[in-house]
Structure 1
Amino acid sequence: MAETLVGERVVLLDPAGAAVGTALKSEVHHAATPLHLAFSCYVFDAAGSLLVTKRAAHKATWPDVWTNSFCGHPGPDEDIATALARRAVDELTIRLGDLRPVLPRFRYRAVMPNGVVENEVCPVFAATTADPPEPHASEVSALEWVPWSMFRDDVLAGRREVSPWCAWQVAELAALPDDPLAWPAGDWAALPPAALGSAA
């Protein structure tokens, strides 16, 4: 079942990435969004093509925008690997393999034209899947598989518009090997303290 905002809480963070409380996800994004914990995932097939998705039109932040495979927020007391597996099912009905952090310290702040802010410590993960994605319309309005090198080069050259976090992530991921299946796993221990649980 696709994620519902009713009663769902996100983890609030201090500048060092430690948990300092929680807030309702339905209320956390506004002009003064507090720093909170999130994640982004880049999912590849056996050929190294990236699953690229378009965010649903009703999303509170960056609706109708193309982005990486999926994003999400761990819940209170939910380790980040469990949260990633949950969101992969919620958004795309896929199972993940070879899950690994690739940008464990990524953090960003972005402001929408209407003034709504995203303010996240957002470690970036890579994974693979052999499952054909079946997107939930409440989360994803379109998807496509794109060779990583083509997607990377188009984003870096400004030929492809994506969410701001995806653009910044791609700029950092461009330093990794051309073959995303050969990307080295980052250190789980380098994740923000709030993300460390059974995944560490």
Structure 2
Amino acid sequence: MEEVILVDKQDNPIGKMEKLQAHVEGLLHRAFSIFIFNENGDLLLQQRALSKYHSGGLWTNSCCSHPRVNETLSFATERRLQEELGFTTQVIEIDSILYKAAFGNGLTEHEFDYIFIGEYNGLVDFNPEEVEQVKFISRKDLDQWLIDQPSDFTAWFPLCWEKVKNELDKNSRAIA
């Protein structure tokens, strides 16, 4: 049974709950979203597997999940990159968001979501139980896609993407 860490609005742990039940009740829990760029500055997007319990078939950031109880964010991000995309790479925490989004299937995503960025240029051997497909896309093309077809993306993606772009622009990182 997969559990999530329930938190308050300052991300203080207040309990734990089975993952699906937390989404049924719409309770605030800890999560993370990872944005992986290649050496050209293109973002690795994933299309969530059609079988996912929510947002199946939608496009989103490179990897996202929930840390397990008693698991550090550092360990959780490394674990999920390997489980979903078949690789690991160093990631840097840049920000966080708190959001709530209801889905048509009776589930609600309510997360304190830590945002990480990293760079990777090797093989992406994604897990088909988690990911339908992946692709690299330029910032310009992604921004246009978000304008033209916002319904192609998960609820959290545009919120996190704005934070990532602000961080990249502010710090003129090599990942541009």
Shift of 1:70: 0.8
Match for residue 62 of structure 2 among 65, 69, 82: 69
Q: 1:117-169, CA deviations, whole angstroms, 9 ceiling, x for partnerless residues? A: 000000111011132111111000111111133213432x2445211100112
The alignment partner of 1:118 has SS state of strand
Letter in 1 for 2:36: V
User: What is residue 23 of structure 1 aligned with on the other side?
Assistant: 17
Match for residue 77 of structure 2 among 49, 64, 84: 84
User: What is residue 30 of structure 2 aligned with on the other side?
Assistant: 37
Q: 1:75-108, CA deviations, whole angstroms, 9 ceiling, x for partnerless residues? A: 11111011000000000001113x11122x3111
Q: How does 1:1-200 map to 2 (within 5 A)?
A: 7-30=1-24, 32-97=25-90, 99-103=91-95, 105-155=96-146, 157-159=147-149, 161-178=152-169, 181-182=174-175
The alignment partner of 2:55 has SS state of coil
Q: What is the distance in 2 between the residues matched to 1:151 and 1:100?
A: 22
Q: Any conservation in 1 of the 2:41–2:175 contact (CA below 8 Å)?
A: no
Q: What is the distance in 1 between the residues matched to 2:175 and 2:126?
A: 27
Question: Is there any run of 5+ residues in structure 1 with no aligned partner, and where?
Answer: 1-6, 184-200
Q: What is the distance in 2 between the residues matched to 1:16 and 1:175?
A: 22
Structure 1 residues 152 and 36: CA distance shift in structure 2, 3 A: same
Structure 1 residues 46 and 174: CA distance shift in structure 2, 3 A: closer
What is the alpha-carbon root mean square deviation over aligned residues?
1.8
The alignment partner of 1:90 has SS state of helix
Shift of 1:48: 1.1
Question: Is there any run of 5+ residues in structure 2 with no aligned partner, and where?
Answer: none
Which region of structure 1 is more displaced relative to structure 2, 110-119 or 174-183?
174-183
TM-score (norm 2): 0.90
Letter in 2 for 1:16: Q
Whichever structure has more helix as a proportion of its residues is 2
TM-score (norm 1): 0.80
Shift of 1:175: 2.6
Identity %: 25
Shift of 1:171: 2.8
Letter in 2 for 1:102: I
User: Would you say how many aligned residue pairs link Structure 1 and Structure 2?
Assistant: 173
